[in-house]
Structure 1
Amino acid sequence: MEAETAPEPGALVYDPVARRVGEYRDTTGPYAMLRPVGGGREWQADPARIRPATAEERLAAALRAANTRSERAL
């Protein structure tokens, strides 16, 4: 994604390199900073390669986050 079309902070995007959905945080230098759905360590992504997550990708990421939370509660 180009700088003028950067997603809003908090938007869910798909990183094809990491093959996962992340919450867009900001751009730092040449990188987009993404955070896993449900929390965790941020990772760097190429802003030119990320794209908005599809409804299916958002749902799958939310389900993984919910499963992780319930496993930690046990």
Structure 2
Amino acid sequence: MPSGNVPEVGFLARDTARGLIGRVVDRQAGRVWLRPVGGGREWDVRQEDVEPVSVSEILRPFVAEANRRSWEGR
């Protein structure tokens, strides 16, 4: 992936090699460092194995939880 497609520091990205989503904390020498969204130990991944995460992907679990809660009271 060209470096222009790697999300900037602070944005969310997907590690396609591991199937994980994390926040970009650093980018150097063809590597990207990600930290789990809920906090925790960061990991590094090859730049080629990183892709941006869309807003809908970020919101999907929150919307699903809100929908589940709305159906519980019925």
- Is the pair's TM-score, using the shorter chain for normalization, greater than 0.5? yes
Q: Which runs of 5+ in 1 are unaligned?
A: 64-74
Q: CA offset at residue 5 of structure 1?
A: 4.4
For 2:34, give the aligned amino acid.
Answer: L
Corresponding residue of 2:26: 26
Change (3 A) 1:55 1:6: closer
Provide, for residues 15-47 of structure 1, a one-character-per-residue CA deviation record: whole Å limited to 9, x for no partner. 111101110011244421000001100011111
In 2, Cα distance between the equivalents of 1:6 and 1:56?
18
- CA-atom RMSD in angstroms: 2.2
Q: TM-score, normalised by structure 1?
A: 0.65
The answer to whether the aligner puts 1:48 opposite 2:48 as a matched pair is: yes
Identity %: 34
Q: CA offset at residue 55 of structure 1?
A: 2.7
Matches within 5 A, 1:7-22: 7-22=7-22
State the aligned residue count.
62
Q: TM-score, normalised by structure 2?
A: 0.65
CA contact (8 A) 1:21 1:57 kept: no
Moved more, 51-60 or 40-49: 51-60
For 1:15, give the aligned amino acid.
Answer: D
For 1:27, give the aligned amino acid.
Answer: R
